[in-house]
Amino acid sequence: MRRMVEIHCRDHHGTARPCPDCEDFLAYAEQRLEKCPYGEAKPTCAKCPVHCYRKQRREQARDIMRYAGPRMMLRHPWLAMMHVLDKFRKVRHPMELRGSRRKFTNAPRS
């Protein structure tokens, strides 16, 4: 997300580094990622069954990704390719994962 915000901010706000508004968005995004049930294995936003962001922030993220996404192939091709491949990963809902863990932890104790 940081790389996309940098591209968006540079082209829209004219700064070499993210402006205070964009830094605020990045701090919010990192905070939400820390609370995500998927953790570092989080799927792409389009495939994720859990909405992490509030509506206003979701719109802001969508605008940033819509602008910076196509430009990522030129600026950061490896990250862009990994993001595209990540879209094909099957995602299970966190409640399903919780249920599968329970099967192993609720085994009868001797």
pLDDT tens digit sequence for 57-110? 999 999 998 998 889 888 888 887 887 777 777 777 776 766 655 444 445 554
Q: Tell me, what's the pLDDT at 64?
A: 92
C-alpha span between 41 and 90 (Å, rounded): 12
**pTM here?**
0.69
Q: Tell me, what's the pLDDT at 1?
A: 85
Average pLDDT over residues 43-64: 85
CA angle (64, 70, 76) in 5-degree steps? 95
User: What are the phi and psi torsion angles at 106 (to 5°)?
Assistant: -95, 20
Question: CB within 8 A of 32, min separation 6: which ones?
Answer: 52, 53
Question: CB within 8 A of 4, min separation 6: which ones?
Answer: 64, 65, 68, 69, 72
Note the helical H segments in 45-92.
Answer: 55-75, 77-86
Average pLDDT over residues 18-45: 86
Residue 55: is its pLDDT beyond 50? yes
- Whether the CB-CB separation of 89 and 47 falls below 8 Å is answered with yes
